[in-house]
Structure 1
Amino acid sequence: MKTPKNNVYTVSRLNGEVRQLLEGELGKIWLNAEVSNFASPSSGHWYLTLKDNNAQIRSAMFKGRNRSVTFKPVNGQQVLVKGAISVYEPRGDYQLILESMLPAGDGLLAQQYEALKMKLAAEGLFAAETKRPIPSNIQKIGVITSATGAALKDVLHVLARRDSSIEVVVYPTQVQGEGADKLICNAIDIANARLEVDVLLLTRGGGSLEDLWCFNSEDLAHAIYNSALPVISAVGHEVDTTISDYVADVRAPTPSAGAELLSKDAENKREKLELCLSRLKQSWQHYQLKTHSRMHNLNHRLQRLDPKRRLEQYEQSFDEMQFRLDAAMEKKLSNLALKQQQLTHRLNQQSPKNKLDLESQRLSYLSSRLKDTIKEKLSNSEKHLKYSAHQLETVSPLATLSRGYSITQDADGKVLTSAADASAGDVLTTKLLKGEVQSKVL
């Protein structure tokens, strides 16, 4: 198998291009998650893991960004963050570089609303060229709203006053609460399947952001966009704006205004003018969104090419090496402490003091034995001496003298044993037990 000569990647080049691809395609996102493994080293950067029940992603928030956060996150805390997907090239890990952080719940709905609005605008759902014209001769109007709401009463009252010939078909649905967006989508699908009306009026009265939240559904936005029937959105009061208002072909500020747009009277010209102004306003809003989206993308590309991002990568790498160095130093110190303990133990075992103590004990033992031996030797010598003395005394001349005998010697000191050994005139010395006597042989 031949090795390809062209387009052979290095690991660094691969990770770099993956980072550019992720940063260029996804851009900035909002994420609701739980904080874990939070770390704040001396560099001032924050490193953490964001997770839910099934997955997790490593994240970093550099000190230039986290200074604006009004709280310090703790493990287990639920947060709402905004950031850009990137790749930490030295490890090949993809991560989220955070720009802002809020406790979960603070502005979550508003952030979700803005995020979805940006997404749908980028997909072209708000484009003016996709808007369908409102029929000029309306005979039937389909109203999608609550059958018991005040909005339906206002719409019927306006239509009866302005043009009683217009027929109204009500597609009743829930317009508030969990699952309401699915029911509204179903009502739109039913109206498109029947094709019994000329236009659809999607409406309800005013309320809080939570009350109107079902009209900020992505599914509902696509249902309106894909509707074969023109759709007018008249949700809430004039100050309320929902995703359905941006996607619809025409936005009316109130339910009554929506009914007026769909009916004609002597003020038809004014209504057409208002319709044109509304369309113009929608086009301007779409242009603003498109321009904002383009500026956002350009800003994102600028940030991606900014040397600051590379510096942040290096700073993150430095922090990681600092973590590893601290761990290695701690392990090294632990090993050295253990080795020191082992050497101390061996030194204690090999210490001269132990040998000296042992030799001292041995010397003491030998000294004791020597004393005992000397004492025993002296005792034996004393006994032997006494015995020898006794034996000596037995054969000693003194013992003989003590029994009354004497010893006679000539002048030369020779002991005389016979009288024949003495001659006349010899001087003899006789030794007695006590003293001696000299005599002369006659």
Structure 2
Amino acid sequence: MQIPKNNIYSVSKLNGEVRQLLEGNLSRIWLSGEISNFAAPGSGHWYLTLKDTQSQIRCAMFKGRNQAVTFRPTNGMQVLVRGNISVYEPRGDYQLLIDAMLPAGDGLLAQEFEALKMKLAAEGLFALETKRPLPDNIRRIGVITSPTGAAIRDVLHVLARRDPALEVIIYPSQVQGTAATDSLIQAITLANRRLEVDVLLLTRGGGSLEDLWCFNHESLAHAIYNSALPVVSAVGHEVDTTIADYVADLRAPTPSAGAELLSRDKAGRLQQLTALEGRLKHSWDHCQLKLQRRHTLLAHRLSQQDPVRTLEQLAQRFDEMQLKLSAAMARQLHQAANRQTALAARLTQQTPAHKLAMAQNRLEYLAAGLHQALDDKLKQARGDLGHCAHLLENVSPLATLSRGYSITTDDKGRVIDNSAELNNGDTLHTRLKQGSVISTVISTE
């Protein structure tokens, strides 16, 4: 086999070129997953693993970037992160270098919002040249909102105060929940089919990003863009921004401001300036988005040649070795403590005090056994004695007397068991159970 002379890589060179290849072809990405193996050494850098049910990837977030995170990551937490794919060259592991981290719920919605915003902007739905001017003489306004919400009350109050001659037609719609988007589209479609108003005001009160999410659907954006009637979006408060605001012909910061824009008043010119300011801001946002894309591309190209990346690699390797050293020292100390405990136990077993204690325990055990044997022997002897006494009592004359019998003897103490042995005048002694009787024979048979 012929070995090529000009195509032999070292491991370091291979890992370096793989890193440049990954960083050059994969730009900044968003990634969602569950945190595991989270570590935060004294250097201030964070190291973790992001995983889902099937795969995992190592991640690093350096001190200068993790200081902007508003929460403390923990194992098991679902997060959304943004970063660049790179290679940790000393180990040859590919990893994600994180520069932003959000909780999964709000982060996913925000990421989905930004992705849809970029998509629709690329399709031209936000272009200023497609915005329709409001009619000069508005006589009838169509309001698309909930008929029971606070927004409709604010709108009607402002219109009645500023221009009571304006006619208002309400197109009832849901403004929150899973069915709200379809309800809003149906209201826009109905208004365009009837063509009974001069302009549409799409509005509701403020709320969280999740509450206003029905105004961030692509289908609603196309319905607003394709509407034959001009659409003014007045969703939420001043800080709330939805896709409907970007695609509408004009955005108002609040429902009341939307009603003021559409009603004639001495301050009408000021409202027109506000509208122009909104369009200018929208144009600026669009321009800023382009600049941000270019900045991201240039920053990515710069990062490929940035010495900071090398320092970050070295810092990560230092932290990794420090963690390994701490773990090895802990294991050595634990093993030494176990050996000391075992030797101390063996030494304790060999001391005279221990042996004396064992002999004392055996002596006490034998003494207790002896006392128990003596007690058992005495109990057995008492039992035997009681049995013999019982047998003796059964054959004793006294036992016979106790059953009602008597014993009769003559003067010489002989037991009389035959009347033929007696003569008239003999003296007899009869012993009973209780006491005795002396009698004289007067006749025998």
Q: TM-score, normalised by structure 1?
A: 0.54
Residues 11-52 of structure 1 deviation map (CA, whole Å, 9 limit, x = unaligned): 7757633431212xxx353x4431124456898754433234
How far did residue 148 of structure 1 move? 1.3
Distance 1:41 1:262, change over 3 A: closer
How far did residue 194 of structure 1 move? 5.8
Instruction: Give the corresponding residue for 1:35.
Output: 35
CA distance in 2, matches of 1:249, 1:304: 43
CA distance in 2, matches of 1:248, 1:182: 17
CA distance in 1, matches of 2:50, 2:196: 50
Amino acid at match of 1:17: L
CA distance in 2, matches of 1:175, 1:186: 12
Distance 1:264 1:62, change over 3 A: closer
Quick check: 1:261 aligned with 2:261? yes
How far did residue 263 of structure 1 move? 3.5
Instruction: Give the corresponding residue for 2:21.
Output: 17
Residues 158-208 of structure 1 deviation map (CA, whole Å, 9 limit, x = unaligned): 445655665544332221345534543454455456655443211112345
CA distance in 2, matches of 1:249, 1:283: 13
Q: How does 1:150-165 map to 2 (within 5 A)?
A: 150-159=150-159
Instruction: Give the corresponding residue for 1:85.
Output: 84
Contact 2:20 2:304 in 1 (8 A): no
Distance 1:86 1:239, change over 3 A: closer
Taking only the aligned residue pairs, the percentage that are identical comes to 62
Instruction: Give the corresponding residue for 1:373.
Output: none
Instruction: Give the corresponding residue for 2:148.
Output: 148
Instruction: Give the corresponding residue for 1:379.
Output: none
Distance 1:269 1:174, change over 3 A: same
Distance 1:282 1:42, change over 3 A: closer
Instruction: Give the corresponding residue for 2:96.
Output: 96
User: Unmatched 5+ residue regions in structure 2?
Assistant: 1-12, 328-445
Residues 79-138 of structure 1 deviation map (CA, whole Å, 9 limit, x = unaligned): 343x22314286987643112445556x74895588458746864654434433223344
User: Unmatched 5+ residue regions in structure 1?
Assistant: 1-9, 328-442
* SS class of match (1:275): helix
Q: How does 1:214-233 map to 2 (within 5 A)?
A: 214-217=214-217, 220-221=220-221, 223-233=223-233
Root mean square deviation, CA, Å = 4.8
Q: How does 1:221-370 map to 2 (within 5 A)?
A: 221=221, 223-264=223-264, 268-288=268-288, 290-292=290-292, 294-310=294-310, 312=312
Contact 2:224 2:248 in 1 (8 A): yes
Residues 306-365 of structure 1 deviation map (CA, whole Å, 9 limit, x = unaligned): 2333554576688889999999xxxxxxxxxxxxxxxxxxxxxxxxxxxxxxxxxxxxxx
Amino acid at match of 1:51: K
Distance 1:318 1:256, change over 3 A: closer
CA distance in 2, matches of 1:78, 1:312: 26
Amino acid at match of 2:147: A
Residues 255-289 of structure 1 deviation map (CA, whole Å, 9 limit, x = unaligned): 23322322346665454444334434444454455
CA distance in 2, matches of 1:86, 1:239: 34
Contact 1:121 1:127 in 2 (8 A): no
CA distance in 1, matches of 2:111, 2:95: 21
Aligned residues: 316
How far did residue 231 of structure 1 move? 1.9
CA distance in 1, matches of 2:217, 2:312: 37
Contact 1:120 1:126 in 2 (8 A): no
Out of 117-126 and 246-255, give the one that drifted further.
117-126
Residues 42-80 of structure 1 deviation map (CA, whole Å, 9 limit, x = unaligned): 987544332344654442224554466677644323334
Amino acid at match of 1:134: L
Amino acid at match of 1:255: P
* SS class of match (1:253): coil
CA distance in 2, matches of 1:34, 1:305: 31
Instruction: Give the corresponding residue for 1:128.
Output: 128
CA distance in 1, matches of 2:279, 2:219: 23
* SS class of match (1:184): helix
Residues 355-385 of structure 1 deviation map (CA, whole Å, 9 limit, x = unaligned): xxxxxxxxxxxxxxxxxxxxxxxxxxxxxxx
Instruction: Give the corresponding residue for 1:206.
Output: 206
